[in-house]
Each structure stands twice: as C-alpha cells, then as structure tokens.
Amino acid sequence: MDKQQLPQRPFAQKYHVKGIGGALVFLALLWGSSVMTGVNWGEFFTNLDQFFDLLSRMAHPAWEYTNIVIQPILETIQMALIGTTIGTVIAIPFSILAARNLIKNSVVRGVIRFILNLVRTLPDLLLAALFVAVVGIGATAGVWTLAVFSFGMISKLFYETIETIDERPLEALRAAGANNTQVVIFAVVPQVLNSFVSYFLYTFEINVRASTVLGYLGAGGIGVYLQRSLSSFRYDQTAVIVLAILVVVIVIDAVSNNLRERLQ
C-alpha cells in the first residue's frame, strides 16, 4: 500500500460523512416543506396516467396550423426585443446612480436601490395584468411589461458589474480633472461594455420565454394562441405551438452564445 494514500482516508471520510449529512438534512427539509404546504405526492403518481394521455394527444401535431403560428411567433420575438431594449436603455442611468464606486452619496444610492428593489418585487404576471388594464389587450401591454421586468433585472446586473471594475482608471481620470460624465464614458464603459451586451442577450432570451406566458393575460404574442388551443382541448395545435417555441428558443440561444463568445 502506498504510504502517501494513508493521510487521505480521514479527509475522504470527513467529506463522505458531510455529504450524507447534507443529503439527510435536505430530505428532512423537503419532507417538512411538503407537510407544511400540504403537497400530496401520492396524488401526483396516481394521476400520472393523465399526463401520458395528454402526451399521446399531442403526438400527432396539426401541421396545417403552422402557417397560423408563424405570425404570432414573430410578434413574440418583436415584443421581447423591443421590451428588452427599452428596459436596458432606462436601466443604464439607474445602474450608474446605484453603483457604490461612482456615487458616494449614500442617500441617492439608497433611494435608487429601493426603487430597483420595488420594481423587481412585482411579478411579471401582475405587471401584465396592470398594463392590459391600462392600454388594453395586445402586444403593447406585453412590450411594456417586458420593459419594466427587464429594467429591474438588468439594473441590478449592471450596477453589480460596475462595482467590480478596476478603480485605477477612474482615479487617474479624476486626478486629471475629469468630471463624472467623462469618467463614466472613458473609464467605466470600456470595462463593462462586453458584460452589458452579454446581460442584454441573456435578458432577451428570458423575455422570449416570458412573453409566451404573458399571452395568457392578453398581452399578445404566441401565448394567446397557446391559451386558445388548451381551452378548446386542441392538443394537436398545442403541439405545433410548443414545437415552434422550442425552435425559436434553440435558435436564439445559439445566436446569443455565438455573440457572447465573440465578445469575450
């Protein structure tokens, strides 16, 4: 036996015990949460045959429905792109005002961060319901919902990125007499631009998926047709919609990954 392996046994045993202990704690928390929330696991497995029955109905898509789905899919992508762009444009100044290394006034930072926290607290479905009530049913409500959602999400990602940049260029420009605007343009933007573009693409991916759900509340896009097909029990049409969404998500994910790799 190799003598060098002897000291490794207590180390391996220590982490083995920790792993078992962590698994037991996780299972205990899972069981406790199920009891407190009234989750009935047996009911899920008892009605599992209904799930497979639904899949069997979707196994024969109504391909003639594809021509009807194309336009709503394009509308969904347009909604996500416009909403993400609007949210990003609004998020940039708020991110700068919330960054600790740029804004030294704690009161200003606190107010801005409170606003951002408030925006992120609102669920996207609640936002969709509010905008549908304000501007009516259609893509406009979806665009503004995604814009507000993107604003809250991107703002946090942006100001956290700004707070991690190298401080030396900022200090050099300030020592040379540059004002805050010049510091942001010449010292901050070059360091965070790639991250900003990456976060924009990431949020765009999320919004494409989110806009599908928003359609249930009348916020436009493919979600409206998904809700109609499910309500009328036309699962063959539902299958076409799901496949179309899957293709769009795969394409957007591939394009986003390609752009991120080029930015790195």
pLDDT digits 0-9 by tens, 6-63: 455 555 566 666 778 788 888 888 888 878 887 777 777 777 777 787 788 788 888 8
Closest CA to 146 of 167, 124, 130: 124
The pLDDT score that the predictor gives to residue 58 is 82
pLDDT tens for 116-139 read 999 988 888 888 888 888 888 888
pLDDT averaged over every residue in the chain? 83
Structure tokens at 166: 């190298």
- What's the pLDDT at 254? 84
Q: 241-253, pLDDT tens digit by residue?
A: 888 888 888 888 8
pTM of this structure: 0.76
Q: Residue 1: which pLDDT band, with cuts at 50, 70 and 90? A: very low
Separation of alpha carbons 123 and 149, rounded Å: 8
Average pLDDT over residues 150-177: 88
Q: At what angle do helices 106-121 and 66-98 cross, to 10 degrees?
A: 160
- Output the pLDDT for position 93: 92
CATH match of 65-263 with 1.10.3720.10:
yes
State the average pLDDT over residues 146-169: 90
DSSP-assigned states of every residue in 181-247 = HHHIIIIIHHHHHHHHHHHHHHHHHHHHHHHHHHGGGT--SHHHHHHHHHHTT-HHHHHHHHHHHHH
Q: How far apart are CA 94 and CA 131, in angstroms?
A: 22
Let me know how many helices (H) and strands (E) the chain has, helices first.
12, 0
CA dist 187 and 199 (Å) reads 20
Rounded to whole angstroms, how far apart are CA atoms 226 and 232? 10
